[in-house]
């Protein structure tokens, strides 16, 4: 029992807050937008810029891992369907 208490004190699970741009229950576009916003932010401000990390937390929460892997692969191959320039 104390092991569970230790784990819950280490990890805080949160969902992404409501985003008025995506009011419907289907969060596919929200996932994609947060992914592209993260990489645009990193390109403009650098990886250590704290507000960029909010986009990363959001897309990691919203996107299935398979999609993230696919998006990363597309970025590496230069076939990602959106511009990631700031």
Which residues, at least 6 apart from 32, have a Cβ–Cβ distance to it below 8 Å?
A: 63, 82
Tens-digit pLDDT profile for the chain (86 aa)? 455 555 556 766 677 777 777 777 678 888 999 999 999 999 999 989 999 999 999 999 999 999 999 999 999 999 999 999 88
DSSP string, 51-71: HHHHHHHHHHHHS-HHHHHHH
Q: How many angstroms separate the Cα of 18 from the Cα of each of 13, 26, 34, 56? A: 16, 13, 13, 16
Instruction: Report the sign of the C-alpha dihedral through residues 35, 10, 50, 42, in that order.
Output: negative
């Amino acid at each position: 029992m104390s092991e569970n208490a230790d784990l819950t004190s280490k990890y805080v699970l949160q969902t992404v807050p409501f985003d008025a741009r995506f009011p419907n229950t289907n969060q596919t576009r929200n996932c994609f937008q947060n992914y592209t916003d993260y990489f645009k932010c990193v390109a403009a401000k650098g990886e250590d810029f704290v507000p960029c990390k909010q986009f990363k937390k959001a897309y990691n929460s919203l996107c299935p891992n398979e999609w993230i892997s696919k998006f990363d692969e597309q970025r590496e191959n230069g076939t990602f369907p959106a511009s990631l320039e700031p």
